[in-house]
Amino acid sequence: MTESAAQHDLLDARADYYQVFADVDGDDLDWWRTARDYAKWVHPQVNDAWEKAEYNIPAIEEAARRGLIRDGIDIEGERPMSIRANRLVALELARCDASTATAVIVQAGLAMQSINSLGSEEQKKKYLGPMARMEIRGAFALTEPDHGSDSVALETTAKRDGDDWVINGEKKWIGHGSVGHIAVVWARMDDGEVGGFIVDQDADGYHAETIEGKASLRGIPQAHITLNNVRVPDDRRLPGARSFRDTAAVLGGTRLGVAWSALGMAIDCYEKALKYATERHQFGRPLNKNQIIQQRLADMLMDVTSMALYCKRLLELEETGQLNEKQAALAKVHNTRAARRVAANARDMFGGVGILLENDVIRHFADIEALHTYEGTDTIQSLIVGKTITGVSAYR
């Protein structure tokens, strides 16, 4: 282990086999430790909330008090968070609980980042600070009942009426959509282009129902929203949102967040399986003395290592401003597929107790299904890459 790797114990050398994150230091390491400390604090509450399908708002507010609801956005009076620190925070939160990580992605990576990237200076001053403190909970309302992967075809409309916009339509699978204060609603304007609007969730005509019966990400609610003649003043329109390309730019960042989150979940599954195999005895000897167990652990490590290398390289591109949406799409597909394999192997290695929430693996096993789908399905992300390879679009 190198000197830099010895500086922290946030990842066991058996998980960071290639020492991909051994060089993390300074403020970035401090942020990672902050996320790790928070994860240790919240972990005892996670499984109970997941089993009951309850949103633990006080726990997310505690994350805000520790400065973790940021997505790297500069907030006046708050200490800076680099791109690298932001990604490490995403990894660590998902390593603990994907519902918690998703709540942060929804709040900071989607709602806050929409306002930060596309909003006016007045909108930024009004919303970003309170949202970072979780005084205002925000939603990102893009997906519709009939337009998920093809969200560019959205049917929600925003019609100009004097100094207001009148919004009509439906949205589905919207995190914070029924338990928040505002929603950034994406709608097609009079000129056919896509605009973003900051809508109060208590506005007349805004109706949201929490979607029941989920078997994944049970610790954060998603909503089905109906917008019926919802009036929004023009000063609530995001002036930088002029086309779907502007919307897609926000989504590009969260796809990277999904890749990092998948890595965090895979690391936890691998670490838990390794610990169990070391401590569990079967047929008079430790489980880890069996060849098939060692092979499975090696297979899991191969996936975890490749995921880490994807994330590290994309981080380098992101930090230098060279990253594009196609590269993010490839990472999202690769890492969610790999995390699925790692979680399945870990769950199998635990045997019967693998279905108990107390061992965490089954929760990751279920939650990775949502990450595999949201921010663009596996198929759509693969087709984005396929278009880059062939120069021919298979979906539009």
Note whether 381 and 250 are same-domain residues.
yes
- Do 188 and 290 fall within a single domain? no
Domain boundary among 94, 118, 133: 133
Does position 2 have pLDDT exceeding 60, yes or no? no
Instruction: Look up the CATH number of the domain holding residue 339.
Output: 1.20.140.10
Q: Which domain holds residue 234?
A: 138-242
- Count of domains in the chain? 3
The average pLDDT across 116-135 equals 97
Query: Is the pLDDT confidence value at 4 over 60?
Result: no
pLDDT-derived band at 248 (thresholds 50, 70, 90) equals confident
Domain boundary among 98, 133, 168: 133
pLDDT digits (tens, 9 = 90+) for 169-207: 999 999 999 999 999 999 999 998 999 999 999 999 999
Instruction: Give the model's confidence band at 280: pLDDT under 50 very low, under 70 low, under 90 confident, else very high.
Output: confident
Tally Cβ neighbours within 10 Å of residue 348.
13
Q: At which residue do the structure tokens 């604090």 appear?
A: 41
pLDDT in tens, 314-340: 999 999 999 888 888 899 999 999 999
Q: 216 and 255, same structural domain? A: no
List 160's β-bridge partners, or say none: 165
Examine the domain organization and report whether 211 and 330 are in the same domain.
Answer: no
d(CA 258, CA 276): 27
3-state secondary structure (DSSP) of residue 72: coil
Q: For position 3, what pLDDT does the model report?
A: 41
pLDDT greater at residue 149 or residue 359: 359
Q: Could you tell me which residues are beta bridge partners of residue 187?
A: 195
**Residues 139 and 112: beta-carbon distance below 8 Å:** no
User: What local confidence, expressed as pLDDT, does residue 284 receive?
Assistant: 72
What is the DSSP secondary-structure string of 22-48? TT--HHHHHHHHHHHHHHHHHHHHHHH
259 or 148, which is more confident: 259
Same domain, 78 and 145: no
- Whether 18 maps to a domain, the answer reads no
Among the candidates 133, 164, 181, a domain finishes at: 133
- Mean pLDDT for the chain? 91
The H-or-E segment that residue 207 falls in is strand 206-210
The DSSP symbol for 236 reads G
Tens digit of each residue's pLDDT (9 = 90 or more) over 91-121: 999 999 999 999 999 999 999 999 999 999 9
Per-residue pLDDT, averaged over 273-281, amounts to 88
Tell me which of 264 and 378 has the higher pLDDT: 264
Question: Does 242 or 101 have the greater pLDDT score?
Answer: 101
Judge residue 196's burial from the number of C-beta atoms within 10 Å of its C-beta, 0-12 exposed, 13-18 middle, 19 or more buried. buried
Whether 118 and 216 share a structural domain: no
285 and 189 in a common domain: no
Do 267 and 15 form a contact (C-beta atoms < 8 A)?
yes
Determine, yes or no, domain membership for 170. Answer: yes
Q: Give the residue among 61, 67, 70 at the shortest CA–CA distance from 42.
A: 61
- pLDDT, tens digit (0-9, with 9 covering 90-100), for 367-388: 999 998 887 777 777 877 777 8
Q: At what angle do helices 325-349 and 291-319 cross, to 10 degrees?
A: 160
Q: CA 30, 34, 35: angle at the middle one, nearest 5? A: 120
pLDDT in tens, 45-91: 999 999 999 999 999 999 999 999 999 999 988 899 999 999 999 99
Q: Which residues pair with 175 in a beta bridge?
A: 222
